[in-house]
Structure 1
Amino acid sequence: MNKRFVFSALLLAALLMTKPILAAEMRGFVHINGSNTLRPFADAVADRVSKSRRIKRPWVESNSTSAGFQLFCAPETGESPDIVNASRPMKKSEFEACQASGIRNIVEVKVGYGGLVLAQAKKGPALDLTRKELFLALGKNVPDPKCKNRSCDALVPNPYKTWKEINPSLPDTKIEVIAPAFGSGVRELFEEAVARAGCENFPFIAAWKDTKKASYRQTCSTLRTDGAYIEERGDAVAGRLAKMPGVVGFMPYHQYTAHKARLDAVRIDGVAPSVESIAANRYPVARPLFLYFKADHLAKVKGLQQYLAEFTSEKAWGEKGYLASLGLIPMSAEERKLYAAAVKNHRPMPVPSDTITERRGSPDAMRAAR
C-alpha cells in the first residue's frame, strides 16, 4: 500500500508540474498582456495574423507595464501571458521574479521607439518648458525660492501656483498637469526622464544621488498632491486636454499624433517631439518599446511563432509598415535585423541592469540577439 501511495503521489506531482504548460497548449491561442502604450500595435498585429483564420486571434489585454510583468513572471497557470508588452526595459527585480517562478528562457525584443509628449489644447497659451521648470512645478518639495545663497540646500513644500511664478517669461496661468497614474510604465518614464532629470539641475540634490540616496529618491520622485498634478489613464489624457485650455498633459507619442488636430506639443528643453527627434534620441523624453516572450511556449502555444514573425516583419515594423502609420517609430534597419534574429533564434536575454533610464536598449540584449 505504501509503494502504491508513493507512486500515486509522485504521479500527481508530475501532473501538477506539467499542468500549466499543458493548459497553455490546450488554450489554443496566444495571450498578451502589459503596456497600454503598445496595445494599438499589439491589436493590429493580432488582427493581421488571425485574418487567414488558420489560428485564433490572440487575446490582447492591457493594464500597465509593471502589472504586465507581475503576471508574466508569476508562477505559471493556463492563462499566464505568453508575451508581455513593455514601455520600458524589464527590471532586474522582475527578471529575478521570473527566474524564481521557473520562467527562465525569456527573449527581449525591442520593437521601436516612442516618446512622452507634453501637449495642450490649441487654444492654450504658448509654452516652452525645461525639465527643471517641470520639476519645480510638480515636485512635492522644492528648493526654497527665497534662498538666494548658492550653497543653500533648504527644501520647502511646493509654493508655486502659476507658471509665471517659476519663470517670469511663462504665462500667468495656474499650474495643472494631467499625467499618468502611478504604476504605469509611462509614469515611470516621467519620473526618470522628467522629474529626476529636472531635479538634478540643483547641484545639492544631484550630490545626494551618491551620498543620501533615500533623500534623493524621495525628493526627486515624490510629486505634489494639492491638485496641480492630476492623475489619469494614459488613453484618456488627450480627450480631457482638448476641453481644458491652459492645462497641459503627458501622453504617449502615438496618442498625440492621433489627436494632433486638436492639440499642440510643448517643447521640452527646446526640442519638439517628432519622428526624427525621437529616433535620433534628441528629444529628452524618448524611449524604446519592447515585448518579451517565453521561448518555452513557442512549441506549445499555437500561433505564438506566427504572431512574433508578423510583428517583426518589414511590412509591420518597417519604415513604411502598418505599425508606423499607427504611431510606432521604427528602429534602424540594423536594429530591426538584430531583433528579428532574436525572435528567430529565441536566445534568452541576459540579466538586466538595475536602471531603466537607458533609452536606446540594452547592449547586452543586442549582443544576445546576434
Structure 2
Amino acid sequence: MKILFVHQNFPGQFPHLAPALAMRGHEVLAMTDEKNQRPSPVKTVRYKAPEPVETNGVLGRSYSDFAERGLLAARGARALRDRHGYVPDVIIGHTGWGETLFLQEIWPSARLLVYAELMYRTQGHDVGFDPEMHPDSDEGRFLTVSRSAHLLQGIVQADGAISPTRYQADSFPPELQGKISVIHDGIDTARVCPNREAWIELPGGKRLTSGDEVLSFVSRSLEPYRGFHIFMRALPEVLAARPDAHVVLVGGEDVSYGSRPRDGRSWKDILLDEIGDRLDHSRVHFVGRLPYAHYLSLIQLTRVHCYLTYPFVLSWSLTEAMSAGGYVVASNTAPVRELIRDGENGRLVPFFDVAALSEALIRGLAGDADAPRLRQAARRTILSGYDLHRLSLPRQIEWVESFGPMR
C-alpha cells in the first residue's frame, strides 16, 4: 500500500510504526511542518508552517488555529496530488493539530486513520481537578468545549482510530469509541531494562549510582499537571528524614499543559519561593531536559521514582520507569491505575495528600522490604502488556493493514 503519515512534529507517536511498515514492503511517506527539525526514519515532504492568525472571540480561536494548519496541510497534499500524481491508500495522522481535517477532500478514496490521544472534557478529567492551580469557571468550561470541536470532527471523519490507553480511549464520546483500538505506543524493553551499573554525573560534577539514595521526578515541564507542586511540598519532610538522599528533577521550566503563572514566573520559581529555607538545596538537583541516554540511566539507578499526574494523558516516563524495574510511587488517579495496583507493582497515594506522599517516598528511600517484589512486578507489567516488539508494534501493523485500500 501507499501509506502517508501526517504529523507536524513527525515522527511524533510513529517512530517505530512508519519504518516497520516500510520494511514490510509498503511505500511510506511522511508529511510534516516545514520547521520540524526532528530526524525522520522515512522519506519526508513538508507543508508551509502556519502564521499567527487573528480571530474574533476567544471561543473560536483554537478551532481557527487548527483549521488553518489543516488548510496548509491540505494544500501540501494537493501539491503532492497535482504535481506528482501521488494518491495514498491510507493516511495516518494525529487529530490534535487539525492536520487531517481536509485531507479526504484531496484524496476521497484514501482510508483515514487517526491517533486519538485525548478528548477534552469538562467533568471527570483535568478541568476542575485542581482548583488551587487551575480554578474552575463557566468560561473555562466553555473554552474546553470549544477546544474539542476539531478533535470530534477528526474522529468522526476517520475510518479508524488508535489510543494508547483505555483511559484515553474512554475520554471520547461512547458513540465514537467503537472506532478506537487501544494499542499502546510500546516500550523497547530490551533497551529500557534494569541496569544496576547505571550512573549519571550531575552538572556540579557529583556522580550518582544505584548505590546512592536517589529520588527521581521526570516531566517534560515542571508544572502542576504533573504534580510538581505536590512533589515539591513533600520534599522538606523527605530530605529531613533521609539526610543522604539526593533528588533529581528532570524537566523544563516552561508549560506543556495548563496555564502559565499569572505573574510571569515559572512554576519552579513559585514553588521554590513558597518552600524557602525548608529545602536543602545542596541535595535537590534541577537538571533541565536530559538527553535520552542520560534520562534512561537516571530511571535505571534511582531508588524511588515519583510520578504524579492529573486525570490526563499518561506519560511515557511512567511506563519506562516500570520497564526499568523502578520502585514507583505514583498518584492514585485514573490514568495511573490502569498500570499500577497499590502494593502489587508500585505504591499509590492520593494526588493532593502531601503527607502521604512524603511518607511513601521516605519508606521507599529507606529500603522498603517489598521493593524487590514491586520492582519485578512493575517490569512484568510492561513485558506482558506494553512490550514494543512483541506486542505493540505487531498490533499496530495489523491494525493499519486491516484497513487496506478501499475496493
Q: TM-score range by the shorter chain?
A: 0.3 to 0.5
| TM-score, normalised by the number of residues in structure 1 | 0.35
Structure possessing the higher relative contact order (Cα contacts under 8 Å, 6 or more residues apart): 1
